[in-house]
């Protein structure tokens, strides 16, 4: 998880700052940075909020830091949604719903600007 350390340094934060924000110990943040431990889903979401990047960027699955842009072709639906039991047809339906919601949100954001 070297991206966590890179992001922390870019923001000028100490490990203690990150630990306080995510509600974990400073030592555990060090483990995340050194790849000795993997953050759970809740922690990944908090890190994503703190650094204003996508979870995929933190995980190294994407080179896009944009937390609002999601490439649905790269999403592991089971990981992203926590619903591993969906069959292929329902996964496709969920993907279509997500794409529709993102498109709707983009239109709403454009109207605000």
pLDDT in tens, 13-53: 999 999 999 999 999 999 999 999 999 888 988 998 899 88
pLDDT, one tens digit per residue, over 45-69 is 899 889 988 888 898 887 777 655 5
Give burial (CB, 10 Å; 0-12/13-18/19+) of 42.
Answer: exposed
Q: How far apart are the C-alpha atoms of 41 and 49, rounded to whole Å? A: 12
Q: Is 27 helix (H, G, I), strand (E, B) or coil?
A: helix
Quickly list DSSP for 56-107.
HHHHTS-S---SS---GGG--HHHHHS-TT--HHHHHHHHHHHHHHHHHHHH
Instruction: Give the pLDDT of residue 75.
Output: 53
Q: Tens of pLDDT along 64-112? A: 776 555 554 445 544 554 555 677 787 778 777 877 888 788 888 777 7
Global pTM exceeds 0.85 = no
Predicted pLDDT at 85? 65
- Position 19 scores a pLDDT of 95
Give the pLDDT of residue 76.
55
């Amino acid at each position: 998880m070297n991206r966590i350390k890179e992001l922390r340094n870019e923001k000028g934060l100490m490990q203690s700052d990150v630990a306080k924000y995510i509600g974990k110990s400073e030592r555990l943040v060090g483990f995340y940075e050194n790849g000795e431990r993997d953050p759970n889903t809740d922690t990944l979401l908090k890190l994503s909020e703190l650094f204003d990047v996508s979870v995929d960027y933190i995980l190294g699955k994407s080179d896009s830091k944009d937390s609002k842009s999601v490439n649905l072709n790269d999403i592991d639906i089971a990981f992203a949604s926590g619903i591993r039991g969906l069959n292929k047809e329902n996964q496709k339906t969920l993907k279509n719903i997500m794409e529709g919601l993102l498109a709707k949100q983009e239109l709403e954001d454009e109207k605000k600007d």
